Chain A
Amino acid sequence: MSSLTLSQRTVDNIQLFLKVTILITIAGAAISSRLFSVIRFESIIHEFDPWFNFRATKYLVSHSFYDFLNWFDDRTWYPLGRVTGGTLYPGLMVTSGAIWHALRKIGLPVDIRNICVMLAPAFSGVTAYFTYLFTSEIKDSSAGLLAGAFMGIAPGYISRSVAGSYDNEAIAITLLMASFYFWIKASKEGSVFYASWAALFYFYMVSAWGGYVFITNLVPLHVFVLILMGRYSNRLYAAYSTWYAIGTVASMQIPFVGFLPIRSNDHMAALGVFGLIQIVAFGDYIRSKVPSKKFKSVLIVAIFLIIAVGILGLFGLTYAGLIAPWTGRFYSLWDTSYAKIHIPIIASVSEHQPTAWPAFFFDTQFLIWLFPAGVYLLFQDLSNEGVFVIVYSVLCSYFAGVMVRLMLTLTPIICVAAAIAVSKLFDVYMDFSELLQSKVEVEGIKESTGAKAKKTKVTGLSIVAKLTVIVSFAFYLFLFVYHCTWVTSNAYSSPSVVLASRNPDGSQNLIDDYREAYYWLRMNTAEDAKVMAWWDYGYQIGGMADRTTLVDNNTWNNTHIATVGKAMASSEEVSYEILKEHDVDYILVIFGGLLGFSGDDLNKFLWMIRIAEGIWPDEVKERDFFTSDGQYRVDDLATDTMKNSLLYKMSFHRFTELFGHRNAVDRVRNQRITQEPDLNIVEEVYTSENWLVRIYKVKDLDNAGRDLLSASKFEKETKAGIKKRIQKRPDLDLRE
């Protein structure tokens, strides 16, 4: 047996080569598994928010950056308009705009839509790389590679980064991992250089996603915990002070953030820790000068004083109005029913609902049970970096349980912790060096003791044990990859603009009603037509139909949304006034009753009512929409308020006609509709193939000065041939 002797350099080179190969493969896997949506459907922007980002990006590439920054968007929130440039996180658009310009510079003019569609998968590769670097800092590069691989394909992250999911999160998770990596690096080495990089990525993150507050709080918390543990060091001081100073000043350059870092409660922790670390540094300096016994008492008093002053100051300033009070979103993080009672508009968003437990397994599969194991292992040696991961996992586990969308920020740390656990396991069980060594020893060293002989004996059994563990974990890993691929292709690759269903014979049937209707709007209505729809569809109407909307997914004005809710929930006379006041030309409603699509407007109706009730408690009452025994009904037993509401009428207009005036069944709510609602103030202009989208045109004021109800009544009576032969003296008010 020829023994292989390799120089350290060769080993390093081979390792480097392997690492690079593995990382490239991971990136490849990450990107390709995100392309299901493009292959299954087409290269299209998904869902709701991405449509706005896409529209904003188009604006950016067709105008200058200055125009983009000061963009006043007069095609949304009619007639208020939206100062879009000052109320968005520009990071995403600027990134794709920069890529678009760069590609043009090198002679590759790529359509901006394709850049937007492919941005998320491309960045997922980078995320995997930064996760690798991050984990390498915490444990070693083998754990890093595992973490990178997990991160690349974990469904929890894929759910927000498939091709076409052009949302802030697409690049924000990359930036999150990058900031954390540089922070760990900086705090470990006390390097101003890395701290500056951390601040730079923090700035990029601030420009890209509102979730930057997570970093703003996690890093100070890490520092705070370390200080409490008595692990203060000058390295920590250098890293944190640099990061905070540069990061805060930089983050204030984003118009949407502005003075929040010094005014909002969300940012006070970072400021407080910044102050604290100065005091601690000072205390540290004093400690080096005075005897330690005296110092201890000074320290204890000082700490209590500081905490008391800090908390009192926070309350005082908040009370005085100098610091913005906690936002509703913040309260809803602690009390899951807070939003439901106080801010229905937050509760109405499905991704703000508490997470269902199966979702954790669905999104991370076997990583979820390795996650505590990884955290436990980190507890064992409790390094400074380990503390960061522990703090991160504890905080995020809670938040992910409260809000579905925060699952996204939990996924990276699950991947990291699980990778640490698996790699630790592999470190132990894949270590066959003992076996090789002992063989050499048996051959070479004759003066082996009895103990040594015993050890060689055990080897046989331990090999079996090791193999069992390795094989079973390999199987788990295989299962994980299989699960991830399955989840990605089945659950997360639907653009939700196009719905997929199965025909009875199993073939796929695409329901493309949304685009059909939006295209109709685009081609058949005046360019400045105002379209009223529930806010969910605002971005899509703006993006696909290019028409002015009243409200959209940027829910910045609750009153305006409530106005739309009131128009939908009120009777025709009341609604008509609202519609005319806001110059509404068309109303778009989503009706799933024919198709059995449960996310339609009638199912969202209660939210419209609740939001409207929040502003007009006397005019819109949720109770009136429920039957006396508290049921939400749309059939004959529905309440009069329900039957008279504009949305109800628009949903079921001509619905019975489709079933030959007999027993029309609403397939979502499984109720029979027998009556044709009487619709006067609007007229149907378009209904999509599966009746999913219905568009109504608001009628003009009656030319002869009648109200529209009596006008259409006269028309219907005449057409039905009803003649009034007997003349009665009309009962009229006195003429003024």
Chain B
Amino acid sequence: MAVETCSTERSKGPNVLRVHSFKRSQGSGFSNQSINTTTMQLSTLFCLFLVSIASALPSPFPTDTALIYDSKITNLESYTSLLNYLREELRVPLQVLEFNSPELEIFKNGQRNFDNLIIFPTKARSIGSESNIHGLDLLNFFNDGGNVFTITSPTGVSETVRNYLNQIGIYPSPRNHELVDYFVGSNETSFKSIKLTAENVKLESNIISSVPEITYSGSAALLTNNNLLFPILQSPSTSFTKNSQESDEANNWTVGTQGYLAVGHQGLNNARGAWIGDASLLDDSQFSTFDKELLQWTFQMKNILRVTEVKHNHINGDTYAERPYKVKDELEYQITLQEFNGEQWSPVSFSDLQFEIKLISPYHRLNLSELSQDENSTTYGVTFKVPDRHGVYTLQTIYQRPGWSFVEEKEVLSIRHLANDEYPRSWDIPNSWVYITSSVVVFAAWIVFLIVFIYIKDGKIVDSKKQK
């Protein structure tokens, strides 16, 4: 429904939600003529109230959030900036729960109980009131569309979180493993607090917008080649992860840039997750734009792409329903995209958006060019010629870029062959004139022959022969 609203009423206001609420209140006002002024005023007030709520809510999605922590290693008092940010600025309904609290149920009656989870390091092996939350449960939560923000530390890597992260393709260093860099500082503690520089920050993940000031001390993770992982922070080339309890140099978890310190990931269902290996990044001493952006991204409050309209038709405007496509038709394809940037749906510009028409493999892969833009969406389009092969084609736009929610628009259409009367007639083909002429000549000659054969008596010929 939202899709239609946006495409048809995009001119009415800057914010979709606002437009929507206006529309509703106006509709109720006009539908009844006998409304008196007080109710009118009331409705206006109500409308204003709705608008204020709408503009205050940064996200179009409900965002019940649970923060799970272990009081043995995490003192929440040092995280007031984080909690304030979540409560005051992001305005998410937040539940702060001990990892073994009986109220901690991520699924209730088969339904997801929260939208977002923030899991702080825990000393215990598993989380849940009876250690009943397994890695699989977290994964199911993620697969069901929930966002998971996990933090591990050298002192707290629970089995639940580790199993879950391993499935995603993140292998955080085990308990007691710490990232160290002997090229910084001069003593044991300074080895472990590493100042990250611009070359350790991967801005191409599109999750954070600027290089943050970070002093990192925690664990590092190995990553698989999973395409759905978007590394944000990489460990410096001079660092490595070692076991602080026993020195076994052959078994360093990561060496150099092999380790990652903060990673975002996104499922095919656009659920998001993030992992960082140092809880102190979130505490009051270091709470910064980096954390804000990471939280916003993880909770699907930014870099959300949405397709509001997909349209395709003949070049003269006839739709598929009016005139089904056949081979070699000229068609145009349009797709309208918008981005949620944390406050409102807005137009978005991409130069690498591509459209495909495929039958098992693509016949055409074409760049979509920007056609028009309004306050909250951008329309891209391309015209193309249907291949000279009938079949059941898929028209698709797949846009999967790090940090952006995935766009996958597919439509299966049958493209028919030429009907028996859609080929050019024989006389339209110059080559055929030879054959047409020759057959007409044969017909005519035959008729002439018949006339001659029937009406001219052969007596004369016999006579002439005899005369000779």
Contact = CB atoms under 8 A, between A and B. Distances in A.
Contact of B414 (A74, A703, A730): A74
B253 interface: yes
Nearest to B413: A74
Interface stretch (B168-176, B207-215, B372-380): B168-176
A715 B251 CA distance: 29
Interface stretch (B84-92, B111-119, B390-398): B390-398
Nearest to B135: A718
A110 to B, nearest CB: 30
Interface in B166-197: 166-169, 171, 174
B227 interface: yes
24 contacts: A69-B420, A70-B420, A80-B391, A581-B360, A583-B394, A583-B412, A702-B268, A703-B268, A704-B139, A704-B265, A705-B267, A705-B268, A714-B163, A715-B136, A718-B134, A719-B136, A725-B159, A727-B162, A730-B224, A732-B171, A732-B223, A733-B225, A735-B225, A735-B258
A576 to B, nearest CB: 15
Nearest to A74: B414
Interface string B212-237: 00000000001111111100000000
Among A81, A83, A723, A725, chain B packs the most CB atoms within 10 A around the CB of: A81
A283 interface: no
A618 interface: no
Contact of B391 (A69, A79, A582, A701): A79
A18 B191 CA distance: 117
A700 B225 CA distance: 20
B171 A706 contact: no
A36 B326 CA distance: 47
Interface string B128-164: 0000001110010011000000000000000100110
A78 B134 CA distance: 41
Nearest to B267: A703
Chain A interface size, under 10 / 10 to 19 / 20 to 34 / 35 or more: 35 or more
Interface of A: 66, 69-70, 72, 74, 78-81, 83, 86, 255, 528, 581-583, 700-706, 711, 714-715, 718-719, 723-725, 727, 729-730, 732-733, 735-736
A66 B136 CA distance: 57
B406 to A, nearest CB: 11
Contacts of B414: 72, 74, 81
B385 interface: no
A733 to B, nearest CB: 6
B95 interface: no
Contacts of A725: 159
Contact of A704 (B134, B228, B391, B393): B228
B12 interface: no
Contacts of B229: 705
Interface of B: 134-136, 139, 142-143, 159, 162-163, 166-169, 171, 174, 222-229, 251, 253, 258, 265, 267-269, 271, 359-360, 390-394, 412, 414, 416-417, 419-420
B160 to A, nearest CB: 11
B454 to A, nearest CB: 18
Contacts of A715: 136
B227 A705 contact: yes
Given A69-B420, A81-B414, A714-B136, A705 B392 contact: no
Contact of B171 (A583, A702, A730, A733): A730
Among A69, A715, A718, chain B packs the most CB atoms within 10 A around the CB of: A718
Contact of B224 (A70, A79, A581, A732): A732
A81 B136 contact: no
B391 A81 contact: yes
Given A74-B414, A703-B143, A81 B390 contact: yes
Contacts of A700: 268
A727 B391 contact: no
Given A70-B419, A704-B267, A730-B171, A79 B136 contact: no
A-side binding surface: helix, strand, loop or mixed? loop
Contacts of A66: 419
A732 B255 CA distance: 13
Contacts of A528: 412
Contacts of A704: 139, 142-143, 167-169, 226, 228, 265, 267
B-side binding surface: helix, strand, loop or mixed? mixed
Given A79-B393, A727-B174, A701 B268 contact: yes
Among A69, A79, A725, chain B packs the most CB atoms within 10 A around the CB of: A79
Contact of A79 (B143, B268, B359): B359
B167 A706 contact: yes
Contacts of A719: 136
Given A701-B268, A714-B136, A732-B224, 14 more contacts: A69-B419, A70-B420, A72-B416, A79-B360, A81-B391, A583-B412, A704-B143, A705-B168, A711-B167, A714-B167, A718-B134, A718-B163, A727-B174, A730-B224
Contacts of B392: 74, 78-81
B251 A729 contact: yes
A730 B169 CA distance: 10
A271 B253 CA distance: 83
A66 B421 CA distance: 10
A81 B159 CA distance: 51
Q: Which 5 A-B pairs have the closest CB atoms?
A: A74-B414, A72-B416, A70-B419, A705-B228, A718-B136
Nearest to B175: A727
A730 B222 CA distance: 8
Contacts of A706: 167, 169, 226
A79 to B, nearest CB: 4
A48 B240 CA distance: 67
B39 to A, nearest CB: 47
Nearest to A563: B360
Contacts of B253: 729
A735 B390 contact: no
Contacts of A703: 142-143, 267-269, 271
Contacts of B139: 704, 714
Nearest to A80: B391
Contacts of A72: 390, 414, 416-417
A714 B224 CA distance: 16
Nearest to A560: B360
Contacts of A78: 392
A725 B360 CA distance: 44
A13 to B, nearest CB: 45
A81 B327 CA distance: 13
Contacts of A724: 163
Given A72-B416, A701-B268, A723 B159 contact: yes
A602 B222 CA distance: 45
B200 to A, nearest CB: 15
B268 A582 contact: no
Contacts of B135: 714, 718
A202 B191 CA distance: 96
A724 B419 CA distance: 64
Contacts of B143: 703-704
B136 A83 contact: no
Nearest to B168: A704
Contacts of A582: 360
Contacts of B174: 727
Contacts of A705: 168-169, 226-229, 267-268
Among A74, A705, A714, chain B packs the most CB atoms within 10 A around the CB of: A705
Contacts of B168: 704-705
Nearest to A528: B412
Among B226, B258, B412, chain A packs the most CB atoms within 10 A around the CB of: B412
Contacts of B271: 703
A177 to B, nearest CB: 31
Nearest to B251: A729
A582 B268 CA distance: 20
Nearest to A72: B416
A656 to B, nearest CB: 26
A701 B174 CA distance: 30
A74 B413 CA distance: 9
A560 B391 CA distance: 13
B268 to A, nearest CB: 5
